[in-house]
Amino acid sequence: DAGVIQSPRHEVTEMGQEVTLRCKPISGHNSLFWYRQTMMRGLELLIYFNNNVPIDDSGMPEDRFSAKMPNASFSTLKIQPSEPRDSAVYFCASSMGRRNYGYTFGSGTRLTVV
């Protein structure tokens, strides 16, 4: 398996532009998580899905952030409009709901908003 695949790896955009981050989870995993990592706050959970259904989006910082999971093999995180304070590394992870099963993380998308 290729693991959790995120794209793009790096994104530089101007303030006010729309940004879309993409994630392909591991086949067969039924849970998908979006995290954001910054030096100040560490890893923060933004939203997670079980069986493609959003369960908890309380970590989404503002209405400018939205996430979708149209099917079991694809999810997007969109920021519109983007702001400089959104600059961070965004990670996607997937897992199965089993006690002996951990998370697998993607390589992340480094977002810079200028």
Partner 1 sequence: KQEVTQIPAALSVPEGENLVLNCSFTDSAIYNLQWFRQDPGKGLTSLLLIQSSQREQTSGRLNASLDKSSGRSTLYIAASQPGDSATYLCAVRDSGNTPLVFGKGTRLSVIA
Contact set with partner 1 (CB under 8 A): 31, 33, 42-43, 45, 48, 50, 55-56, 91, 93, 97-108, 110
Do 34 and 77 meet the contact criterion of CB atoms below 8 Å apart? Answer: yes
Nearer CB in complex with partner 1: 15/43: 43
Report, in Å, the least distance between residue 63 CB and partner 1: 21
Extract the tokens encoding 76: 């997007």
Nearer to partner 1, 25 or 108 (CB): 108
Tokens read off for 20: 């879309």
Smallest distance from partner 1 to CB 70, Å: 20
CA distance 43 to 15: 23
